[in-house]
Amino acid sequence: MIKPTITLETTGDAALDVVMGGGIPSQSVTVIAGEPGSGKTILTLQMLFAAARRGQKCLYFTTLSEPAIKVLRYMQSFDFFDVELLEKQIIFTDLASAIRKGGDATAAEIVSRVERHEPSLVAIDSFRAIGEFLRDPTLARTFVYDLATQMASWGATTLLVGEYARAEFSGFAEFAVADGIIRLGAQQQGLTSLRELELLKLRGANYVSGRHFFDIGRAGVRVYPRVRSPESLGAAPSLDDRISTGIGGLDELLDGGLPRSSSTVVQGGTGTGKTLIALSFLMAGVRAGQKGVLFTLEETPNQLRQIATGFGWDLAELEEQGLLAIRYTSPVELSTDRFLNDARNEVERMGAGRVVFDSLTTIGLGVPSERRFKELVYAISKHMRSLDASLLMTVESEQLLGQANLSGLGVSFVADNLIQLRYVELEGRLDRAISVIKARGVNLNSELRAATIGKAGMTVVRDRFKDLRGVLTGVPSNGRAAD
């Protein structure tokens, strides 16, 4: 027996299609619900224009909410809008006069239009207006059931658009009859408001549950799937294939370098050299033929280019050659799902072998909860590994001197390798110290060494702290004298 397959209709946004398991099942009835201004009409017409471009005929019914001429006026600003498709592939019809005559007249008008045009997609916006005009819940349920049955018999995919709050769903017959429910809304985050989309039901589809953020721009609705692990986690870091950090003395502590495709956290106080290690890591990659991407949330690209110039590195030239990309995001405007989605796409587009996030501390400022922050860092690590990219992330330590917190904002469990930078007061001045706290599968040297910064970058120096005790306290003493 041949197993029947479900044909899927694209939404016009590739990411939303992925979230929906490929798109909207054809010949289904889907409710697109949300409060006014949530983007329901834009998403609906985006779907219809995508279908029209594939040669499918579509019917768009307006009701008592907004007249067709007003809808068309506002839709012209979107890239998906094509006036050439109107009246040929997309037919607009106003149901207002039929609705005022009652349910039978409304149903007859819909049936007449569908039989005349034989559309593949039918949208009714706003469908709630019909239900409210019918008033009687029993009549409304019968109307919805009959409409869904007729649309399925005609082979049309139906979109019922309406202004519904989530708490109202159980009170309307269309939600019980529908094969799918898409809810559009908004989430407050500080002083900003983030748009979110949630799939509450989608029969016959392997969809991604949960809330997904989206933007509305000239292209229409663009969805950013929620933070989650990639479908493929990629190969484990190769202990036999080492890559240089760009700092010889640090490679020595790591017994030859970092395992390829591993994730590394560099933790240290302000000014200890975290960004310098990150830049050295990327420059070493370029010299080894690996492209790099630097995602910065602190220094702007121009600031980083200026800093690198002081060490003899021309980042602008590497960017022009396509060997390096610098992407800046303001933590004030950070959306975790969008940030991860854009980062993954950029690394995949470039085919980058090395990736830096500078810094996790600043990313944390734009994430509403500690759990959400840890989920993001975990997902970043797994997505970069799935792309076979070696990852380095920086974390700010609050302590200037004294025992430093080694937790790395509680995300050190994500890292394969943990490198710590700190200050040490020695002979009346502050010196920098570096050590490797963790390196999975590596025969590491845990010795604490001095880190100096000069015109050539960072240099790791042996024996500077030899015979000293209490270096980790930041104020060491002479070990021999103590004996």
The per-residue pLDDT for range 451-472, each reduced to its tens digit, is 999 999 999 988 766 655 555 5
Instruction: Tell me the percentage of the chain whose pLDDT exceeds 90.
Output: 53
How far apart, in whole angstroms, are the C-alpha atoms of residue 224 and residue 215? 8
DSSP state for residue 401 in the 8-state scheme: S
pTM of the model: 0.79
Higher pLDDT, 96 or 60: 60
Query: What secondary structure does DSSP assign to 334-391, as a single string?
Result: --HHHHHHHHHHHHHHHT-SEEEEE-HHHHHHT-SSHHHHHHHHHHHHHHHHHTT-EE
User: pLDDT tens-digit profile of 19-29?
Assistant: 999 999 988 99
User: pLDDT tens-digit profile of 261-273?
Assistant: 999 999 998 899 9
How far apart, in whole angstroms, are the C-alpha atoms of residue 238 and residue 259? 5
180: tokens are 């799918």
Residue 399 confidence (pLDDT): 61
Residue 100 confidence (pLDDT): 84
Measuring CA to CA, which residue among 245, 250, 251, 329 is closest to residue 290?
Answer: 245
70: tokens are 């007003």
Distances (CA, A) of 362 to 29, 263, 325, 331, 393: 44, 18, 20, 6, 11
Distances (CA, A) of 61 to 45, 94, 389: 11, 6, 49
Place of tokens 């030859």: 256
How far apart, in whole angstroms, are the C-alpha atoms of residue 357 and residue 409? 15
Measuring CA to CA, which residue among 260, 257, 259, 261 is closest to residue 244?
Answer: 257
Q: Is the pLDDT of residue 296 over 90?
A: yes
Sheet holding 354-358, edge to edge: 324-328, 292-296, 354-358, 390-396, 263-268, 417-426, 429-439, 449-454, 457-461
Question: Residue 424: CB partners within 8 Å, gap ≥ 6?
Answer: 401, 430, 431, 432, 433, 465, 471, 474, 475, 476
How far apart, in whole angstroms, are the C-alpha atoms of residue 453 and residue 432? 9
How far apart, in whole angstroms, are the C-alpha atoms of residue 105 and residue 102? 6
Give the number of other Cβ atoms within 10 Å of residue 115's Cβ: 10
User: pLDDT tens-digit profile of 356-375?
Assistant: 999 898 888 878 788 888 88
Please measure the distance between the N-terminal and C-terminal CA atoms of the chain and give it in whole angstroms: 86
User: pLDDT tens-digit profile of 118-165?
Assistant: 999 999 998 888 877 766 667 777 888 888 788 878 888 999 999 998
Q: Is the pLDDT of residue 430 over 70?
A: yes
Distances (CA, A) of 270 to 38, 59, 295, 408: 42, 60, 18, 14
**157 three-class SS:** strand
Residue 446 confidence (pLDDT): 86
Residue 99 confidence (pLDDT): 83
How far apart, in whole angstroms, are the C-alpha atoms of residue 230 and residue 234? 9
Measuring CA to CA, which residue among 288, 402, 299 is closest to residue 354?
Answer: 288
Sheet holding 220-224, edge to edge: 90-94, 58-62, 121-125, 157-163, 29-34, 180-189, 192-202, 211-217, 220-224
Domains of the chain, each with CATH number or no CATH: 8-224 (3.40.50.300), 238-482 (3.40.50.300)
Mean pLDDT across 251-280: 95
Q: Is the pLDDT of residue 203 over 70?
A: yes
Cross-strand partners of 292: 324, 354
From the centroid of its chain, how far is CA 76? 28
Burial zone of 86 (CB within 10 Å; 0-12 exposed, 13-18 middle, 19+ buried): middle
476: tokens are 């060491």
